[in-house]
Amino acid sequence: MRDRAPAAVKNRHGRAHVVVRGGETTAPGRLFGSIHFPASGVNGHTFDRADTDTSCPEYKVTAVRVAAL
């Protein structure tokens, strides 16, 4: 997929439309999506669990499929 291409990220929790950005810091087969922009819908793909002692949220890790739009 080319840099700045529109894509759909899907998993069992939903679907988000994003713009692909290439980089050298993310390993092949992995992606990063910022959860700080609610309009992207990325945070909806993760769990809302938290540690019961500290209330720290669970790391936001999940399997997804990425498809060009």
The phi and psi torsions of 22 (rounded to 5 degrees) equal -80, 155
pLDDT tens by residue, 30-61: 888 877 777 777 777 777 777 788 877 676 77
Mean pLDDT of 1-24: 87
Domain boundaries, the chain: 6-68
Q: What is the pLDDT of residue 69?
A: 92
- pTM for this predicted structure: 0.66
Q: What share of the chain is helix, strand, coil (3-state, %, to 5)?
A: 10, 25, 65
